[in-house]
Amino acid sequence: MNQEDLRALLRSGIEAAQNNNTILARSIFRQVLEEDADNELAWMWLAQVVDTQEQRRQALQQVLRINPANERAQDALRRLSVTGAASQPATGLRTTGSRTDQQAGQVYIPQRKDRSQQPSELWKGTRKESDDNRTLYILAVALIALGLIIGGLLLLIDRLTVDTDVEATDVPVVVVVGTPTPAPTTGPATPVRTPIENLAVETAPPTFTPEPPPTLTPVPTETPEPEPPSGEFSLVFASANRLFTINSAGDDQSPISFTFGEGVSASDLSSPMISPDGDSILLTADTGTAQELFIGDVNGGDVQQLTSLGASQTVDAAWSPDGSRVAFASNEDGDFDLFLVDADGGNPVKLFNTDDRDEREPAWSPDGNYLAYSSGDLDGVDREIFVLPLNDQDGFPVEEPVNVCQMTDAPRQSFSPAWSPDGSQIAFISNRNDPEETDLYTMVADGTQENLVSIGDDFIAGEFDPSWSPDGRWIAVSSARLTGEEILAIEPTDVPPPSPTRDPTTPDPELPTPPPTTRSFARENTRLWLVDVATLTWYLLTPDEEISHPVWLPSEDIELPDDIGFRCAGQ
C-alpha cells in the first residue's frame, strides 16, 4: 500500500472514531499498523478506541517508543497510573538483548505486517474472532472435501475392478479437535498470544454445524465527500463587514454594494435577512453614532433607513412570512428588548416591558403566528429559548405575555432559534456541554427530542447563526470546525484534550461576566458550512474565514404552511 492510500485509510479510521464507530475504527487503525508499525498517529488514535485500560496503556507505550517526547501520551499514561493500573511493559511484548535489557523494559517492535510480536491484547478483539471464523471455515471445507473423496472411492469400488496401476492422490490433512487448531500453512508459525485477564475467550465445541464465513465490508481508501446542493439555491452572508452572495454549490461568490446616505458607514454591515419574496434585504449598518436597520434591494444599490432608535446595537432583524412586518432586538434603553415595526416604516413597538432580562434573536414561525426568541439574565451566563404566541396577546407592550412556552432547559446558554420551513423543527445553538464551545442542535418544534448535530468535532469549534434551506434539507451555519485534512495535519501533541464529561452533582464553574451588550463567544476563523439534516454530514462551502449570519434566498417552488399546529410540550 502506497503512502497516499495509507493516509486515506488513516483518515477513514479517524472519521469512524469521531462518529463513535469504535469497532470499525479499531479495525482500520490495525490495518494501518500492519503496513506501518511506526505510525505514531495511528497508535495515538488506537489508544482512544480500544476496549480496556491495559490495551490503551500498551498503545500509548508504542507512541512513546516512536516518539518519547509525546507529551500527550506521557500525560495519558500518568493518568492511567493514577487510576490504579501500574505502568509496566506491555503484556505480550518481547524484549531484546540481555536480562538487563529486559528488566529495563526495552520494547522490540515488529517489522511491517508482522503482528506476532506486537501486544496481543491490541489485536485480540476482531483478530481472535477472525481467526476462529477462519478455522471453522477451513474445517467445514475439509469435511465436505473428505465426504466427496469417500463417496468417490465407494463409487470406484462399486464400478471398477482392482487396478494396480491407479496411483494415490494427495489428500489434505484435516485435524478436528474440541478446540479448533489452525491448518498447517507455509511461513512462520502463529505464536501463542497471552490472554488479557478477566477476558472470556470462546472456543468452538467439539461438534458444530459449518457456517459460511462472514462477509467483510471493505474499508474504502478514499472517504467520499457529501454531495452539496446542486446550486439551485443561493445564500447571503456577512464577512469583513461586507455582504456577499454565493450559490449553494460553493461558486459564483460576489459582493453586494450599497449606497448609503450621508453620515452612514457602508463598511460595517452585518445581520442580513432576505424578504420572503426574495427582492429586498434587511441589514444592520453603523450610522457613525448608532446601529440602525436599513432596507435595500437584494442586488445592492440605494438603501432606506428603517429605524432611528439611536441604540449602540440594533440587530437580529427578521421578516414576517408575509413580508409586512420586521421583528428585531435593540438595547436602546440599556437591556436588549424585542420590537416590531412595519416593513414600510413607522414607529417600532416594544413587545415586553422587562428591565431585568435580555430578549434577542426573534425568529418567525412559517405561518407567522409565533415568535421564537432567546431570553436570559443580563449577565449573559444563562439563556433559554422561548416561543411567544402572538395572537394570544391583547396588545403590545405587555408586562406578562400569555402562554409563553419555554423550549429549552439546560446549563449555560441556548440561543439563535431558527424554524424549519415546514415548522416541524427548530435549530439552535448551545454551549451546554462546554462553556467555551457552541454546538448546533435541532429539536422538535414542541421543545422535545433535542439532537446534537455538531458531531465529529473534537476540537473547540464554535457554531453560530443556523439557517434552514428552503427545502428543509440543509442548515447553513458559520463554524470554526476543521476538515479531515486539517485534523490529519495536526500533530497528536497539539490536539486539545476532549472536554471532560460534566458531573451533574458538581456545580457549574463560575464564568466571567461579559458586558451586557456583547456576546461571550469568539467568532474567529468561522467559515461557511452546510449540514445535511438527514445524514448529519458536513460540507465546507467556502474556505473564507470570519463569515457570519448566513441566510438562504427563498425559493418560489417552496410553499409555506398556513398553520404549523404548534403545541408546547411543557404546557
Q: How many CB atoms lie within 10 A of CB 205?
A: 9
H/E run at residue 17: helix 3-18
448-538-550 Cα angle (round to 5): 80
Cell of residue 501, nine digits:
464529561
Give the pLDDT of residue 293: 94
CA distances from 300 to 242, 250, 345, 556 (A): 12, 21, 20, 21
C-alpha cell at 427: 435549530
Phi, psi of 427 (to 5 degrees): -90, 150
In b/e form, how buried is each residue of 147-179, taking b as 16+ CB within 10 angstroms?
Answer: eeeeeeeeeeeeeeeeeeeeeeeeeeeeeeeee
Global confidence as pTM: 0.58
The Cα 23–Cα 30 span in angstroms is: 11
What's the pLDDT score for residue 365?
A: 96
Domain boundaries along the sequence of the chain: 3-122, 234-497+511-552
**Contact by Cβ (8 Å): 232, 248:** yes
Under-50 pLDDT residues of the chain: 85-117, 123-130, 159-211, 213-224, 495, 498-502, 509, 511-520
- Whole-angstrom Cα distance, residue 191 to residue 177? 19
Question: If DSSP codes are grouped into helix, strand and coil, which group holds residue 547?
Answer: strand
pLDDT of residue 231: 63
Q: What is the three-class DSSP state of 4? A: helix
Nearest Cα to Cα of residue 538 among 477, 490, 461, 495? 477
Find the angle CA(299)-CA(560)-CA(474) to the nearest 5 degrees.
Answer: 70
Quick one: the chain helix, strand, coil %, rounded to 5?
A: 20, 25, 55
From the list 57, 177, 70, 37, the residue with the least C-alpha distance to 121 is 57
Give the helix/strand (H/E) hosting 78. Answer: helix 71-82
Residue pair 30/107 in contact (Cβ under 8 Å)? The answer is: no
CATH number for the region 234-497+511-552 comes to 2.120.10.30
Of 400, 398, 416, nearest in space to 408 by CA: 416
Q: Which amino acid is at 329?
A: A
Q: What is the reported pLDDT for 96?
A: 34
User: Which cell numbers hold the place of 512?
Assistant: 466571567
Torsion sign, CA atoms 299, 303, 306, 310: positive
Is the fold of 3-122 the same as that of 234-497+511-552?
Answer: no
3-122: which CATH number, 1.10.3470.10, 1.25.40.10, 1.10.287.3510, 3.40.50.11740?
1.25.40.10
Query: Would you say 441 and 450 are in contact if contact means Cβ atoms under 8 Å apart?
Result: yes
- Measured between alpha carbons, how far is residue 324 from residues 275, 328, 368, 460, 514 in Å? 9, 14, 10, 40, 35
Please count the residues of the chain. Answer: 571
What pLDDT sits at residue 458?
Answer: 60
CA separation for the pair 532, 106 (Å, rounded): 49
Please, are residues 140 and 211 in contact by the beta-carbon 8 Å criterion?
yes
- 553 CB-near residues (< 8 Å, 6+ apart): 233, 234, 235, 236, 245, 274, 278, 298
Query: Which is nearest to 487 in space by CA: 58, 77, 44?
Result: 44
pLDDT attached to residue 329: 95
Reading phi first (left if > 0) and then psi (alpha if -120 to 50, else beta), residue 29 is in alpha
Which residue has 471493505 as its cell numbers? 218
If you search the block for the grid coordinates 500533530, which residue do you land on?
A: 491
What's the pLDDT score for residue 314? 93
| Element containing residue 339 per DSSP (H, E) | strand 337-342
